[in-house]
Amino acid sequence: MTGEGAIIRIAQLGAGRMGSVHARNAAANPRLDLAWIVDPRAEMAAALGKETGATPAPLAAVLADPAVKGVIVASSTDAHLDDTRACLAAGKAVFCEKPLDLSLERLDSVAADFARPGLPPLFVAFNRRFDPHYQALKRRLDGGEIGALESLQIVNHDPETPPPAFIPGSGGLFKDFTIHDFDLVRWLVDEPVVEIFAWASCLIDPEIAALGDVDTAKLLLRTASGKLCVISNSRRTGYGYDQRIEAFGSKGALRVDNVTNTAVSVWRAEGAQADAFPYAFIQRYADGYRAELDHFADVLAGLATPETGYAASRAALAMAEAAALSAQEGRPVSISVG
Amino acid sequence: MTGEGAIIRIAQLGAGRMGSVHARNAAANPRLDLAWIVDPRAEMAAALGKETGATPAPLAAVLADPAVKGVIVASSTDAHLDDTRACLAAGKAVFCEKPLDLSLERLDSVAADFARPGLPPLFVAFNRRFDPHYQALKRRLDGGEIGALESLQIVNHDPETPPPAFIPGSGGLFKDFTIHDFDLVRWLVDEPVVEIFAWASCLIDPEIAALGDVDTAKLLLRTASGKLCVISNSRRTGYGYDQRIEAFGSKGALRVDNVTNTAVSVWRAEGAQADAFPYAFIQRYADGYRAELDHFADVLAGLATPETGYAASRAALAMAEAAALSAQEGRPVSISVG
Amino acid sequence: MTGEGAIIRIAQLGAGRMGSVHARNAAANPRLDLAWIVDPRAEMAAALGKETGATPAPLAAVLADPAVKGVIVASSTDAHLDDTRACLAAGKAVFCEKPLDLSLERLDSVAADFARPGLPPLFVAFNRRFDPHYQALKRRLDGGEIGALESLQIVNHDPETPPPAFIPGSGGLFKDFTIHDFDLVRWLVDEPVVEIFAWASCLIDPEIAALGDVDTAKLLLRTASGKLCVISNSRRTGYGYDQRIEAFGSKGALRVDNVTNTAVSVWRAEGAQADAFPYAFIQRYADGYRAELDHFADVLAGLATPETGYAASRAALAMAEAAALSAQEGRPVSISVG
Amino acid sequence: MTGEGAIIRIAQLGAGRMGSVHARNAAANPRLDLAWIVDPRAEMAAALGKETGATPAPLAAVLADPAVKGVIVASSTDAHLDDTRACLAAGKAVFCEKPLDLSLERLDSVAADFARPGLPPLFVAFNRRFDPHYQALKRRLDGGEIGALESLQIVNHDPETPPPAFIPGSGGLFKDFTIHDFDLVRWLVDEPVVEIFAWASCLIDPEIAALGDVDTAKLLLRTASGKLCVISNSRRTGYGYDQRIEAFGSKGALRVDNVTNTAVSVWRAEGAQADAFPYAFIQRYADGYRAELDHFADVLAGLATPETGYAASRAALAMAEAAALSAQEGRPVSISVG
């Protein structure tokens, strides 16, 4: 708890898994006062409220509270777009858990709503940009440490396949999972991606194939100037989360290696074994989740403009749709995103 | 900020460097309400109060506030012992920044004050026990992962020599710096150290020699059952903080390697270069400082007894005095600590 | 020098760069007696002969020497095929420096010559299969250590672009350089590659583009059962040779990291810097070159059949031609190799 | 096998374990012709002779062969001194497997024999100086890469305890094992060690204690200018050979990390596991054994003077005796070696 001066009142929609992450971070952030928590599942709202000091309330009450300056939208994915628009219309700044929506067509159909003058700021939370390791990578790339960037290789592998029930509403591998990589490429390469080629297989879980999705993919992306990017995706590693980036430039390479839980290792007859990798995104990107919420506090305080909003969401989604088309038709697909 | 229910009111003595660390952690800890900050240096008290929401106050007021359940003693080292005793006498639990005192004789002379029945809990903050890397090491050692522990090697090197003005009040290298290693050895080896041999040199800064201190030391410690420990100390690395532990056992070895700032590395003609090491204790042990304060919150909530108190402080100080005597007389010195 | 018993007399065609490597290894191999060295460049033949104890001679003399049991063909690339056929026809076993030829059409046109019964053994030296690191990888993959292999990622980057004069006769990036990766994929994946997609750019040296070649490429390969492989190629790293393989399986991953010159590192303010990487193939694969020659000694002694011969050469070349076609036409290309 | 020109005829005494290593290296060295092998154990001499092309012979024949320019003395340790003196007296250069002798008194009593003018060169093979990792370390230390050296830490741990039968003739831990570290310290620190303190325990194998020896030791060494060195010895790791050096200087640190068999690692749920460490000295120092023999070829060819001879042997042995005395009497022991 800290002094009253700078505290900004916010509310949150959604008390699920990501909602818990954000609400806890809000509770520990001395600049934010998480006043309201909105979730039709009353028990979950009550439990998270008890843990974080927020009071369960209906959405209408939140939108009507003039003291609420910002809203964290962590409702179900299919509600993100409407919730976000409602909050913005009510004059609240929005922190929207990604994705803003899973349909490029729908996103385009409401484009005008996000272009109105005087709209409160919208931050769509692509958390990986806030990871301290990736931030250091970006800073060093921009600092010219390896000269001109020529190619990029991203490994983004999940520890284990999601439950089948998750698949139908997920948007599929490219929109649900690779979307992070598309945004990372845009952020790191800093020039438009113009063509995507994707091969995908279902090598792990036949149930995923039965639901029309894939679990393993390798993608190539080409930028306007000919830089080449590789993305490797898998839904199951057998060893926790695998999150790596390699950037090759004219003067050397910069890498982010996979993070370990601690610096402890054990030396045995089989060899030296480092500590385990973080199991999944909740552990691996804990710092990033804290930092993106702090970024939202900066936005609310007028100290920053959102790192990623409607345009970045649309661009990553367009790349995901192009990748899906490429995988389906077995040919490179051209795209045109900002 | 979080709900009111479990919040415990505390105060803090001292608004210096370590005081700032603890006060910020208290402000971010949802279970604690740092109400008062005491420091004769009014400007520093005001600045830290403004940052953390605490109100500057005189010590008497803090001791008289019945709502204050605990006090963080982060005053100047020579005030630790009296401040701690005053707070305990006033019925407040104490979190005392290490050391409790720099004189074994003085500590012994007030031993009775710490043995009174009904005394509130005293936690002397040996922060390294709360570092997540060392905690994982301890857990795995205790789990028998390398069989019986046979020897231990600790590297504890500072990035650069302290300003000369710091030396006279520091207690010298062994009491100021090696004291952490003595406590780590006791904690990890889990049996009494019975003999210490120390060689020390002044190889870095002649001013330190002129002040009667040393800047480089290598120590051997022997336990009751013959386990052998090595401690390496230096006041200057040229590469930031160097904090490593190796434990050799009958079935293998466990190590804590030096931590890096991030998992980024750059590959250049000269070779692959990992990211820099944390500069010093403030950066390296940030997690440990947070965790030790959370431990104090547990103590205040009746969920834990202090990990380290008067006895651990006395034992580490006795080892430091034995080391100093060994270095001075060039012979192993026997000790008897719990 | 060693006992006479088992020594087998061989000859070598070519005293250039790779010829020097092989001749020196032959001289140090106690089972081989390098008797003759053939090269129209008399001075080079003499120098290498002096260093290795071999006597310069014309090809006819070598073919006519009944004591010569094997010939190392390390002549210029465009002479490999004819030299190899001549030696085989003369009843000599052949160690042919890769490639056997740069034209799939030509290779196919002489297929019958390699299918004759009673032909002496032909070993085409794909050196990477003999690297101890890759051999350990292969052994562990085959041992089931990561379950079923699902995908493979190879990084094969050269330290710096070759001189422009090298390009025209090289066959281009895919035939000259990626050919190693094609063979590695076939060896490691152990099932037919059925489709290849390649994107290539000239990002490093415009002279290479002017000569119709590329210097940067990313390739995807798909096997019959849907396994996906990525190959990354670059003609320039800025940090020496970059040679890595990652294999992802159903139970974990196996990796070969880039090798360093020694286990020495330096710790400085910027971070810990490992020793430099081997500059290029001569240094990195020194052990593999020795081992492949020892494999030839095994073949000569009747202890082994060639690890790779005409069929492996043809398959890798077919993959290279498919990759070139894919890069040219911007579409995946199907192939059918054993 | 190579050309005749530069080949130098040598002989070897001893066909045991180290004898096999040296004889194989001699056979593979194109500059040396290992003509004779001397060992009273006729079968062993015959077997090694067969493998390396050398002919078994009695010592007298070897000494009488005027073509023999050098002799590798790899007989039993207690014969080293007499064999070496006999060969030198016969005008043969000597490569003596370490140690020259286990008694400082005996070594001193024959000092005059090694000081005679016109004596052929004597190389006592302290193999670790020829390890490429340590050579790189030495070169970089001497190049000033970390400024002035201030302290050194050596880890020298064996994989498992030797058979009890080995202990009585070994000279004990300090003369048999730590002797390598004493020589490394002298070589790396490049100034006289003036004082040694050693603690030793028998923590692993009570049989070793029953034979009057120890299996675990930690030593401190102090040089004339106050540099401090730590040596850690253990007779059993549970994970193969552990061979590391850390050098701390005024501008940073240089380290040689423990070497692994290959660059392969496996990533599993427990974490990333590097390949195993070399089991013991035969594997770990294979390159060094080759290089030290090549150094002897240089000596024989008049291209080098022996890196280490009588003086280095005497100095390391004096340090071992001082360490044993220190461990026995529990006090630092002063020494005076060159």
| Beta-ladder partners of A95 | A72, A123
- Of the candidates B147, B234, B332, the beta carbon closest to that of D248 is on B234
Handedness of CA A63, A68, A69, A72 (dihedral sign): negative
- Check: pTM over 0.90? Answer yes or no: yes
**Region of residue D216 (phi > 0: left; psi between -120 and 50: alpha; otherwise: beta):** beta
Rounded-to-integer distance, Cα D171 and Cα D78, Å: 10
Chains near B with 3+ CB pairs less than 8 A apart are A, C, D
- Predicted confidence (pLDDT) at residue D2 exceeds the cutoff of 90: no
Residue A256 has pLDDT above 80, yes or no: yes
User: Who among C53, C146, C275 is closest to D266 (CB)?
Assistant: C146
Report pLDDT for B311: 97
pLDDT in tens, C201-218: 999 999 999 999 999 999
Q: What is the pLDDT of residue A117?
A: 94
pLDDT tens, C152-186?
Answer: 999 999 999 999 999 999 999 999 999 999 999 99
Interface contacts (B, D; CB < 8 Å): 105
**What pLDDT score does D28 carry?**
87
Give per-residue burial for C53-71: e unless 16+ CB within 10 Å, then b: bbebbebeebbebeebbbb
Between A and D, how many residue pairs show a Cβ–Cβ distance under 8 A? 58
Min distance B271 CA to chain C CA atoms (Å): 4
Which residues fall within 8 angstroms of residue C156, CB to CB, at 6 or more apart? C177, C178, C180, C181, C231, C232, C233, C242, C243
Percent of all residues in chain B with a pLDDT value above 70, rounded to a whole number: 98
Structure confidence at residue A68 (pLDDT): 98
**C-alpha distances in angstroms, C321 versus A112, A137, C198, C315, C324?**
50, 37, 11, 10, 5
DSSP A174: I
C338 confidence band (pLDDT: 50, 70, 90): low
How many other CB atoms are there within 10 angstroms of residue C243's CB atom? 26
Cross-chain residue pair B267–A275, CB shorter than 8 Å: no
Kind plus residue range of the DSSP H or E element containing A319: helix A310-329
Q: Which residues of B touch D222 (CB under 8 A)?
A: 199, 201
- Rounded CA gap, C49 and C35, in Å? 9
Closest by Cβ to D271, choosing from A242, A269, A274: A274
Comparing CB atoms, the residue among B238, B268, B275 nearest residue C268 is: B238
Contact A277 D260 (CB under 8 A): no
Q: Which long-range contacts (CB under 8 A, 24 or more apart) does D207-214 make?
A: D207/D164, D208/D161, D208/D164, D208/D167, D208/D235, D211/D164, D211/D167, D211/D168, D212/D172, D213/D167, D213/D170, D213/D172, D213/D173, D214/D172, D214/D173, D214/D327
Q: How far is CA B277 from CA A142, B273, C196, D258, D306, in A?
A: 22, 11, 43, 21, 42
Among chain C, residues having any CB pair with chain B shorter than 8 Å are 237-240, 242, 258, 260, 265, 267-277
Are the Cβ atoms of C272 and B274 closer than 8 angstroms?
yes
Q: Which residues of chain A does D270 touch, with a Cβ-Cβ cutoff of 8 Å?
A: 273, 276
Contact yes or no for B197/D327 (Cβ under 8 A)? no
Q: Which subunits count as partners of chain C given 3+ CB pairs below 8 Å?
A: A, B, D
SS3 A25: helix
The answer to whether the Cβ–Cβ distance between C253 and A242 falls below 8 Å is: yes
What is the rounded CA–CA span in Å between residue B244 and residue B235?
15
Residue type, C171: G
Q: What is the pLDDT of residues B10-38, one digit of tens each?
A: 999 999 999 999 999 999 898 999 999 99
Residue of chain A whose alpha carbon sits nearest to that of D261? A271
- Which amino acid would we find at residue D17? R
CA-wise closest residue to A137 among A126, A148, A129 = A129
Within 8 A of C270 by CB-CB distance, chain B residues are 273, 276
Amino acid at A177: F
Yes or no, beta carbons of A146 and C197 under 8 Å apart: no
pLDDT for res D43: 97
Q: Are C221 and C229 in contact (CB under 8 A)?
A: yes
Residue from D25, D264, D267 whose CB has the most chain C CBs within 10 Å, to mutate: D264
- The CA-CA-CA angle for residues A7, A10, A13, to 5°, reads 160
For B269, which of C242, C265, C276 is closest by C-beta distance? Answer: C276
Distance CA(B199)–CA(B331), nearest Å, equals 9
Q: What is the pLDDT of residue A3?
A: 40
With CB atoms and an 8 Å threshold, state whether D265 touches C259.
Answer: no
Residue in C152, C158, C218 to test binding to A, most A beta-carbons within 10 Å: C218
Q: Average pLDDT over chain A, rounded to whole?
A: 95
What's the confidence (pLDDT) of residue B145?
A: 97
Q: What pLDDT is attached to residue A338?
A: 60
Please state the length of chain B. Answer: 338
The rounded mean pLDDT for chain B is 96
Tens digit of each residue's pLDDT (9 = 90 or more) over D53-95: 999 999 999 999 999 999 999 999 999 999 999 999 999 999 9
Contact (CB<8Å) C228/A216:
yes
Q: Are B42 and B56 in contact (CB under 8 A)?
A: yes
* Residues in chain B whose Cβ is within 8 Å of chain D: 146-147, 150-151, 153, 155, 157, 197, 199, 201-204, 216-218, 220, 222, 226-230, 232, 234, 236-239, 242, 248-253, 330-332
Q: Which chain B residues have a beta carbon less than 8 Å from that of D146?
A: 238
- Residue D221 and residue D332 in contact, taking contact as beta carbons nearer than 8 Å: no
| Angle subtended at Cα D121 by Cα D115 and Cα D123, rounded to the nearest 5 degrees | 105
Q: CA D12 → CA C92, D27, D58, distances in Å?
A: 38, 12, 11
Q: Could you give the CA distance from residue A11 to residue A71 in angstroms, rounded to a whole number?
A: 5
Does A271 contact D268 at a Cβ distance shorter than 8 Å?
Answer: no
Q: What is the rounded distance in angstroms from the CA atom of residue A145 to the CA atom of residue B94?
A: 49
Over 90: is that where the pLDDT of D261 sits? yes
pLDDT digits (tens, 9 = 90+) for A11-33: 999 999 999 999 999 998 989 99
Question: What is the CA B95 to chain-centroid distance, rounded?
Answer: 12
Q: Does pLDDT of C3 surpass 70?
A: no
Distance from CA of C149 to the nearest CA of D (A): 13
Task: Supply the pLDDT for residue D114.
Answer: 97
pLDDT in tens, C241-267: 999 999 999 999 999 999 999 999 999
Kindly list the residues from chain D whose CB atom is less than 8 angstroms away from the CB atom of residue C136.
261-262, 264, 275
In this predicted model, what pLDDT tens digit does every residue of B227-278 receive, in sequence order?
Answer: 999 999 999 999 999 999 999 999 999 999 999 999 999 999 999 999 999 9
Mean pLDDT of C142-160: 97
Nearest to A197 among C151, C197, C252 (CB): C197
Q: What pLDDT, on a 0 to 100 scale, did the predictor assign at position D30? A: 84
CB contact under 8 A, D274 and A276: no
pLDDT of residue B5: 46
Predicted pLDDT of residue C16: 96
- Confidence class for position D337, pLDDT limits 50, 70, 90: confident
Residues of chain C contacting A239 with CB distance shorter than 8 Å: 252-253
Average pLDDT over residues A96-122: 96
Using alpha carbons, select from C136, C119, C174 the residue that is nearest to residue C316.
Answer: C174
CB contact under 8 A, B274 and C271: yes
Question: Over chain C, what is the mean pLDDT?
Answer: 95
CA nearest to D267, candidates A43, C257, B23, B251: C257
Residue C198 has pLDDT above 70, yes or no: yes
**Tokens 């080391």, residue?**
B323
Range list of β-strands (E), D81-192: 93-97, 122-125, 149-157
Q: Which among C132, C145, C267 has CB closest to D253?
A: C267
User: What's the whole-number average pLDDT of chain D?
Assistant: 95
Query: What is the distance between the alpha carbons of residues C195 and C221, in angstroms, rounded to a whole number?
Result: 6
> Which pLDDT band holds residue D338 (cuts at 50, 70, 90)?
low
Q: Which residue of C has its CA nearest to A246?
A: C155
Judged against a pLDDT cut of 80, whether residue D5 lies above it is answered with: no
Do residues C247 and C141 lie in contact, with contact meaning Cβ atoms separated by under 8 Å? yes
Beta strands B216-223; B193-201: pairing state: antiparallel
Instruction: Please state, in angstroms and rounded to a whole number, the distance separating the CA atoms of residues A266 and D90.
Output: 53
pLDDT given at position A28: 87
Give mean pLDDT, residues A199-218.
Answer: 95
